[in-house]
Amino acid sequence: MTNREVADLLRLIADMLEIKGEVVYKALAYRKAADNIEALGRDINEVWRQGKLREIPGVGEALEKKLDELLRTGRLGYYEELQEEIPVGVVSLLSIPDVGPKTAKLLWEKLGALSVADVERAAREGKLRQLPGLGVRSEQRILEGIESLYRRTTRIPLGVAWPVANELAQALRQELGTDTVEPVGSLRRMKDTVGDIDLLAAYEEPEQATAAFVRLPQVAEILSHGPTRASVVLYNGLQVDIRALKPERYGSLLQYFTGSKEHNVKLRTLALSKGLSLSEYGFKRGDQELLCPKEEDVYHALDLPWIPPELREDRGEIEAAQQGKLPKLIERNDIRGDLHVHTDWSDAAATLAEMAQAAQKLGYEYLVISDHSQGLGVARGLDIARLRQQRAEIDKLNEGFSGFRLLHGAEVEIRGDGTLDYPDEVLQELDVVIASVHSGLRQDREAMTTRVIRAMRNPHVDILGHPSGRLLGQREATNVDLDAVLRVAAETHTILEVNGTPNRLDLDDVHIRQAIQLGVQLAVNTDAHSVNGLEVMEYGVAMARRGWAEAHHVVNTLPLPQLLERLTLKEHSTIR
DNA sequence: GCCGTTTTCGGCCCGACTGTTTTCAGTCG
């Protein structure tokens, strides 16, 4: 079982326990363990083999026993017993907005509902309003919730939500005549996907801010609307929540609303240990209030340095802050060039000259042209003759540049057996070789892992492109064993790509962090297929930051001479 | 079910909004 599968099962059990009516803290404990297993960055099976399950935070005696049974036999007796009591169908009702464990249990016990469709039917027949604690309004609300559930297909990639959120924030800033409107929540933490958009407004009359917000022309439907918070659905189907408070509490609100929930919970616990109570309004010591106009004030009150939003996932950042060991995260301006872009030589829109010009405009010192290799026919991959023609043109262009250089690379297909799409003598001519998997994506774990590792052991392969192959919202990652890939990358000095294309963001944050811990170096690239595509660098950098990357972990922060030297490391290395 | 510079037992974060209530429970973030 994968970490994800184990985590999902623990979360399912947590839901069942809640519906059953167990003390909520029990369910909480399961969820916490699930979160930590998912964010582990190591294969849980390996942790289990080493007998180190207890070292995972949130795993105690009872969960260790259950995990051991699960990983050893693939089954869990405790879960099977629970299933006898609480059918999985009841758990599925929790996906309906405004239906929690109590309501789910009620719907099941009184109406026998075991699916969202059952609830929908009962609601249409007016049966929900007859249940204790529910009325006509609740019935209507649940029905609307089901409809929105059908509309809402999946989480939204960061690259989609980010521009929408900024446009909304800008509209509201103009409406209110203030600067203090910002996207917050998982967006501000730059998570790879977001469930909804959260906005924050600091305004003297908060109720006017929420009122102006629900009146924005983008708003299709108002879900709730109070003096300090409101929730709407846009015409594009995205849900947006806003919170508004007076500016004097701006720092507390910004901190609170940025999350994550887990990070905030830990901060509050920390506050309690110092005799303070923390909420979005600020600190309280007894009746005495301590306001935080700036976000830094919140952290300083807890004797912590300010923590960058990208780290706020309760993955050790608070402990690191306490010990003064927060990383100095890489920034967008540290990037000196893009190592992965395409041109009209293969499947992209812009010419070599256009891409070079755009890169110089961004202040880059270098740009690697890396069109597809011959095997990727659908992308008009370059055969060896055209590749050499391209080299000639790049050389010619370079004569006209000063303080900037085009490098010649290629994104070379990793074939099904792990061999590469150009022979070694051709690879050797290139400044940068990116090896990527684009075909045969359904191979089983062993075949896929062997394939990728074989490619990495080629001394000419500098970078492994989009290592997991995932396409957010469209395609799962391939079966590749990333743990093994990371180990071999460390051993062979192969650079791993952090691909900034919005629906890739690959590597993800968890594996970036693991890579760094193993001493693997990264390249943050855009994989741009147009001039505008170069702009997505900010998403790639955001992923790197979420993975605790500092500038020195990323090779394209190096000045050109050092980069070129780094790129020869593998050929000169004796370890293969 | 986890966990311990206030505890190996008794805690475990805080508040808004909604609807169905006569003072609060459920849900959400």
Q: What residue spans define the domains of chain A?
A: 3-151, 156-245, 257-322, 332-572
In 3-state terms chain A splits into helix, strand, coil percentages (rounded to 5) of: 50, 15, 35
Q: What is the pLDDT of residue A148?
A: 75
Q: What is the pLDDT of residues A162-212, one digit of tens each?
A: 988 998 999 999 999 988 899 999 999 999 988 888 999 999 998 999 999
The beta strands (E) that lie in A480-551 are given as 495-499, 522-525
Sequence letter at residue A330 = I
- What b/e string do you get for A212-232 counting C-beta neighbours within 10 Å, with b at 16 or more? bbbeeeebeeebeeeebbbbb
- Token pair for A432: 């940068």
Q: How far apart are CA A574 and CA A576, in angstroms?
A: 6
Is it the case that residue A132 has pLDDT exceeding 80? yes
B27 closest protein residue (CA to C1'): A98
A424 sits in which H/E element: helix A424-429
* Topology agreement, domain A3-151 and domain A257-322: no
B24 closest protein residue (CA to C1'): A133
Q: What is the pLDDT of residues A492-538, one digit of tens each?
A: 999 999 999 988 999 999 999 999 999 999 999 999 999 999 999 99
Q: What is the pLDDT of residues A411-466, one digit of tens each?
A: 999 999 999 999 999 999 999 999 999 988 888 889 999 999 999 999 999 999 99
Distance CA A21 to C1' B26 in A: 13
Q: How far is CA A39 from CA A5, A50, A300, A354, in A?
A: 13, 18, 27, 41
Distance CA A60 to C1' B3 in A: 9
Q: Classify A84 as helix, strand or coil.
A: helix
Fold of the domain spanning A3-151? DNA polymerase; domain 1 (1.10.150)
Q: Which nucleotide comes closest to A265 if you measure CA to C1'?
A: B13
Q: What is the pLDDT of residue A575?
A: 52
Q: Can you tell me the mean pLDDT for A24-45?
A: 85
Q: What is the pLDDT of residue A492?
A: 96
Distance CA A117 to C1' B16 in A: 30
Q: Which of these, A186, A161, A190, A198, lies nearest to A261 by C-alpha position?
A: A186
The pTM for the full model equals 0.81
Q: What is the pLDDT of residue A359?
A: 97
Distance CA A197 to C1' B15 in A: 20
Q: Can you tell me the mean pLDDT for A218-226?
A: 85
CATH of A156-245, one of 2.40.30.10, 3.30.460.10, 3.40.50.720, 3.10.20.30: 3.30.460.10
What DSSP designation does A475 have?
Answer: B
Is it the case that residue A153 has pLDDT exceeding 70? no
Burial label for A415, CB within 10 Å (0-12, 13-18, 19+), is: middle
Is it the case that residue A154 has pLDDT exceeding 70? no
Look at A468-472, A473-477, A511-515 and tell me which has the smallest mean pLDDT. Answer: A473-477
- What b/e string do you get for A433-452 counting C-beta neighbours within 10 Å, with b at 16 or more? bbbbbbeeeebeeebbbbbb
Is it the case that residue A32 has pLDDT exceeding 70? yes
Is it the case that residue A576 has pLDDT exceeding 60? no
Q: How far apart are CA A359 and CA A404, in angstroms?
A: 9
Nucleotides of B under 7 A from a protein CB: 1-3, 6, 11-21, 25-29
CATH of A332-572, one of 3.40.50.2020, 3.40.50.1220, 3.20.20.140, 1.20.1250.20: 3.20.20.140
B11 closest protein residue (CA to C1'): A25
Fold of the domain spanning A257-322? Beta Polymerase; domain 3 (3.30.210)
pLDDT band at A152 (very low <50, low <70, confident <90, very high): low
